[in-house]
Amino acid sequence: MGYAVLHMEKTSGTDAAMSAHIERTIRPKNVDAGRTHLNRELISFPDGIENRTQAIQHRLDTAGLTRKIGNNQVRAIRILLTGTHEDMERITNDGRLDEWCSDNLKYLADTFGKENIVSAVLHMDEQTPHIHATLVPIVRGERKRKKKEEQVKKRYRKKPTDTVRLCADDIMTRTKLKSYQDTYAQAMSRYGLQRGIDGSEAKHISTRQYYRDLVQQTEQLQTDIEQLQDRRETAQEELRRAKREIQTEKLKGAATTAAANIAESVGSLFGSNKVRTLERGNRNLHERIFELEEEARQREQQQAKRIQEITDAYEQRHRKLSEFVNFVKRYFPYVEKLMPTIKFLRDTLNFGDGLIRKLCAFKDVSIKGDLYSPEFRQHFKADGAVCSLKQNTEGNFDFKIDGVSHVSWFRRRKDEFMEALGLPTRKQNRGIQL
């Protein structure tokens, strides 16, 4: 019996990157394009609403909220619904996938309110069938006051108990998250899916943090594989040396046999005592050669066993690495497009890991120091410049400085440098007529 998977994650803003992934306006590399037509939207949008982003905003506009929504306030909660790969494959092959989708929609409506589930998309073009559902966290009731507010001797105006509020924290309390896992497993038990380990010490982390952990593990696996390859080459060299030693001992044995034949001929001329001495020496040599050959065979067997163990370990590591890579490509399609930018930040601009991690979390970072321009092969001073990573319409990521691309920023600084020296700038050079 496999496991039922329900994963929830808060998101702020329009969540455009995830909408692009869900609606396939940007196609991840792990997607089977021949199966994309099997994907389907399980919830119909209201009239005039065409996509997930608009559906989120429509729910916020029509919910009857009285308070202004903050810039950093959570506007939607992503919900991933699936099961163990083998079980989802069984459900699909048994013709129960539509039934499974209906039960998932019923569970979402009963748990969070039908009107709050604004989108649910079934993906069939990835390795494991799964549903991406979108929950707008509209709740009713008075906000829970903080303990310090309760301690202040001040009368708070009593608000109606059915006040409509936007509050993801009320939905994602520790107690409620645990109950969701229990109730979802009960709803999915008819499909042979069960709850994960209750009371596990594993922590619920964000997808970006989980990806960073996967990348670190992948790098460690790559290092281990390189070490195994070195050990494998060393073992193979030792095996070749052992075979050369065996061949050498065989040649020695042939020479000894020839010497014995000569001794027999000489014995007929010089007497039997010398012949017996030579025969005894010949037997000793043969016994020694046999011992050496036996040692060589044992050593060859040990080397072959060692090579096999190293090969098995290498293949196992390689399989794990492939599984990690496939997992990252499947659930984090934007990661591959981030890698060239990360390499540029690390190798060209010499940014530290801490700074790169903040940028990969899509945070604006203020920097101070010298930045190197590969185009002009010189450093430019950045005093409090604000850096960020932004995704363009093609799904690629641009490194921006003070709101413009780093290329434009460097060229602008170059022009300022040339003007300070009284030299013509690039813009002025383009205006020269020949």
If one counts the domains in the chain, the total is 3
- Among 313, 330, 347, the domain boundary falls at 330
Q: Specify whether 105 is located in the same domain as 65.
A: yes
How many residues does the structure list for the chain? Answer: 434
Residues 228 and 179 in one domain: no
CB atoms within 10 A of CB 295: 14
Backbone angles phi, psi at 381, to 5 degrees: -80, 135
Helices (H) and strands (E) in the chain, counts: 13, 12
Evaluate whether residue 148 is within a structural domain: no
Please indicate, yes or no, if residue 30 is contained in any of the structural domains. yes
User: What is the token pair recorded at 319?
Assistant: 């399989």
- What is the per-residue pLDDT for 265? 52
Closest CA to 199 of 185, 177, 178: 178
157 within some domain: no
* Residue 152, domain member (yes or no): no
Retrieve residue 280's tokens.
Answer: 């005894």
∠ CA(38), CA(40), CA(42), 5° rounding? 145
The CATH number linked to 64 is 3.30.930.30
Count of C-beta atoms within a 10 Å radius of residue 118:
23
Same domain for 184 and 106:
yes
Q: Which of 312, 330, 348 is the last residue of a domain?
A: 330
What does the block give as tokens for 285?
């040599």
The first and second tokens of residue 73, run together, are 């306030």
**310 shares a domain with 366:** no
Which of 297, 330, 363 terminates a domain? The answer is: 330
Q: Which residues of the chain have pLDDT under 50?
A: 147, 210-211, 214-215, 266-267, 269-271, 432-434
Is there a single domain that holds both residue 362 and residue 297?
A: no
Are residues 122 and 131 in contact, defined by beta-carbon separation less than 8 angstroms?
yes
Whether 238 and 319 share a structural domain = yes
Residue 180's SS3 state is helix
Residues 229 and 321 in one domain: yes
C-beta of residue 366 within 8 angstroms of C-beta of residue 385: yes
Q: Would 147 be classed as within a structural domain?
A: no
- The secondary structure of 270-332 as a DSSP string is H-HHHHHHHHHHHHHHHHHHHHHHHHHHHHHHHHHHHHHHHHHHHHHHHHHHHHHHHHHHHH-
- Give 174-214 pLDDT, tens digit per residue: 999 999 999 999 999 999 999 876 655 555 555 555 445 54
Q: Note the pLDDT of residue 210.
A: 46
Range of the domain at 407: 335-430
- Distance CA(123)–CA(229), nearest Å, equals 39
Instruction: Let me know if residue 290 belongs to a domain.
Output: yes
Do 326 and 339 fall into the same domain? no
Are 237 and 365 contained in the same domain?
A: no
87 and 193 assigned to the same domain:
yes
pLDDT score, position 433: 43
3-state secondary structure of 7: strand
pLDDT given for residue 199 in this prediction: 57
Whole-prediction pTM: 0.48
Residue 292 and residue 397 share a domain: no
Distance (Å, rounded) from C-alpha 343 to C-alpha 341? 5
What local confidence, expressed as pLDDT, does residue 434 receive? 36
Does residue 163 lie in a domain region? Answer: no
* Residue showing tokens 């998250």: 177
Q: What is the distance between the alpha carbons of residues 133 and 59, in angstroms, rounded to a whole number?
A: 14
230 shares a domain with 91: no
Asked if the structure places residue 309 within a domain, the reply is: yes
